[in-house]
Structure 1
Amino acid sequence: MLNISLDEDELKKLYLEEVRKRVEEIEEDMFLIDTKELCRMLSLSRPTVEKLFIYNPNFPAMRVGKKWLFNRQQVKEYINRWSIDVRKKGGSVEYD
């Protein structure tokens, strides 16, 4: 006779981890993101994102009609460079 026992908490933890991984994969597959997703990605408010990034001519943004769109990979690369530069300058960001 075969006896199988399952730890429900461990099973739930494994399930949630797999779901999280899949959600991340789906997000990575999104080539273009909108302003809402950009704000979520950066953990910043829309006014802050607008002041620091969207209206900066060097930021990889494009306007399609009334909507701003961003290439996810280009944004990641830009933010990596930007954050290195901020840290080199003391780690504080000032904006009006």
Structure 2
Amino acid sequence: MLNISLDENELKKLALEEVRKRVEEIEEGMFLIDTKELCRLLSLSRPTVEKLFIYDPNFPSMRVGKKWIFHRKEVEEYIKRWSIDVRKKGGNVECD
């Protein structure tokens, strides 16, 4: 006879972790993102994203009608270079 016991909380944790992994996989597969997704990706507010990135002519952005869109991989590469530069300059960013 086989006896199986499950911890409900541990099972929930495992399920949530698998869902998170799948969501990350889907997000990574997104080729283009919009401003809302960019803000979420950077964990920054829209005004901050606009001041720091969107209006910077070097930032990889495109305007389609009234909507800004961004190539996800280009944004990730830009942010990597930007963050290295910020750290070299002391790690502080002024957003005013």
TM interval, short-chain normalised: over 0.9
Q: Which residue of 1 aligns with 2:93?
A: 93
How many residues are treated as equivalent by the alignment?
96
Normalising by the residue count of structure 2, what TM-score does the alignment of the two structures yield?
Answer: 0.95
Q: Which residue of 2 aligns with 1:48?
A: 48
The CA RMSD measured in Å over matched residues stands at: 0.9
Spell out structure 1 runs of 4+ moving beyond 6 A: none
Q: Which residue of 2 aligns with 1:8?
A: 8
Which ranges in structure 1 are unaligned for 5 or more consecutive residues?
none
Normalising by the residue count of structure 1, what TM-score does the alignment of the two structures yield?
Answer: 0.95
Q: Which residue of 2 aligns with 1:19?
A: 19
Letter in 2 for 1:48: T
Tell me the alpha carbon deviations over residues 6-36 of structure 1, each in whole angstroms, 9 at most, x when there is no partner.
1111111111100000010111111100001
Which ranges in structure 2 are unaligned for 5 or more consecutive residues?
none
Identity between Structure 1 and Structure 2 (%) = 85
